[in-house]
Structure 1
């Protein structure tokens, strides 16, 4: 006895001519998802438009105008004319700009490792359960509340050659005359130390939050396995705060490349051009008799350098993406 099994691969015989023979449900589901997405987008537009307008006016428009300026010559008062790639050719043959990049790199090489190590250790201490820790956290964070200009003025008074208490401590009590701002290398190190003092609280709080976010069960399991002290820090805590380390590393690097305020308050690029950083040179070119177009060109070059360095740091410190339970 034979049983006729209907062929499901064929289209039903009662379909009208020209009707699609494929599955209907997947198409209908896609149309529903598309309609739902358009509805959500229409509901979000009133909230996105103000942010998009602000972003366009204060970020995209200035950036686009800066890019346009790099292909101009002249000034805003006398008028601008098209110069092609002239500014870019000048930048790559400018010895002073090359020196400012080297000075900025030197400052970054001093400031970044020092800030990362010190703030990580301070953040580790702040995450511990020591009596009176709230007061310690407040005291460490206080310098971060000061503006950079106020910080520079405070330390300029501290190392004043006649009335500075820090200068008196070294010269009169210890018999050491420290050229705080008159020697190029010492001035660069001194700027890095001031930067560390003013930002230590902010970055330490970030590290503290990362250490506090580590589950206690992970630490207890490591202690049961015999890990303690340095082994617990290097094998458990440090890998788990790698995303926080990546964030702080990028922030400190960008802050170091864009150092300007302390140079303006303390050294004015001196002695000579020893503390002439890239951003200080851009400022001098834009507002002290230089060319605004040339300053815009150096700004674009500095932006590209910052983006490349940040991309390298992100690639080298990228987390494996493994979440801990």
Structure 2
């Protein structure tokens, strides 16, 4: 028995060592180096020196970082519920037996195949104040000259809706799998007992997919904290600093004349924030499983 385990370990060892090497070089080492950078001051060109907790004290008093967190929070408060509700509705639709569902699934999933940069460029053309089709439709059709990217609040909300549009196809397929995984005998028994479609949805389907919804909600929240690409393509943080998100501010400090050590400090703070959010959702899911 022992020799068999040794042989299995000897066979698996080379494969695991390659994965361990990749993990160490591209994840563990950068993470440790980033954490060490948070205690440094200076720049990579002029040299780093020990700074203790000064970067952390600066983060706490940095008003622009607080504003970036507020913008990120606004983005999250709009994007998360919209994406969750739309994705659940899409998943419910895709799990039905409508004709031509394969085509519908492909079309709904198509935006998720686009890169974030491509998505941003498409919407930038649509919203162009001179020739953008969507802007001209709102202007000539409804008389609304919407400041899509020139008003900070409107721009943040717009970025949230674009993110929801580009990701609801992927999360919709996740919800579709959850709905398809429900035992059909439960649904048939409910219909025999006289439950209507709405009662079946609210009292059976939605409670049964709650674990999947919690996982999707955690992923959405983490992605919202890390939003960067759309800001880079569409607004560059403008107007002013109205669309500065947390990750955009980290990028500005790391690559546009700021401090790499300070950017690393903010990254660690964001990591702690996302870890707390993930732990919260995981704890809620674990508690729900225990009650069940």
Residue 74 of structure 1 aligns to a residue in which SS?
strand
**1:187 partnered with 2:152:** no
**1:248 partnered with 2:225:** no
The alpha-carbon deviation at position 41 of structure 1 amounts to 3.6
Structure 2 CA distance for aligned equivalents of residues 321 and 92 of structure 1: 38
Structure 2 CA distance for aligned equivalents of residues 84 and 35 of structure 1: 51
- The one-character-per-residue Cα deviations of 1:76-133 (angstroms, maximum 9, x if unpaired) are 1111111111111111111111111111111101100110001001110010000011
The alpha-carbon deviation at position 37 of structure 1 amounts to 5.4
- The one-character-per-residue Cα deviations of 1:261-290 (angstroms, maximum 9, x if unpaired) are 100111111112111000000000000000
Identify which of 189, 192, 202 aligns with 1:234.
Answer: 202
User: Where does structure 1 lack aligned partners over 5 or more consecutive residues?
Assistant: 1-31
After TM superposition, list the pairs within 5 Å mapping 1:63-212 onto structure 2.
Answer: 63-212=31-180
Aligned to 2:255: 287
Aligned to 1:15: none
Residue 81 of structure 1 aligns to a residue in which SS?
strand
Aligned to 1:260: 228
Larger Rg: 1
The alpha-carbon deviation at position 225 of structure 1 amounts to 1.9
Structure 1 CA distance for aligned equivalents of residues 161 and 92 of structure 2: 20
Q: Taking CA–CA contacts closer than 8 Å with sequence separation of 6 or more, which of the two structures ends up with the larger relative contact order?
A: 2
- The one-character-per-residue Cα deviations of 1:174-229 (angstroms, maximum 9, x if unpaired) are 11111101111111111011001111111101110111111211211121122222
Aligned to 1:313: 281
Structure 1 CA distance for aligned equivalents of residues 165 and 34 of structure 2: 34
The alpha-carbon deviation at position 43 of structure 1 amounts to 4.0
Aligned 8 A contact 2:215 2:281 in 1: no
Deviates more, 1:187-196 or 1:234-243: 234-243
Identify which of 16, 19, 34 aligns with 1:51.
Answer: 19
List 4+ stretches of structure 1 deviating above 4 A. 34-40
Structure 1 CA distance for aligned equivalents of residues 97 and 226 of structure 2: 36
Structure with the bigger percentage of helix: 2
User: Where does structure 2 lack aligned partners over 5 or more consecutive residues?
Assistant: none
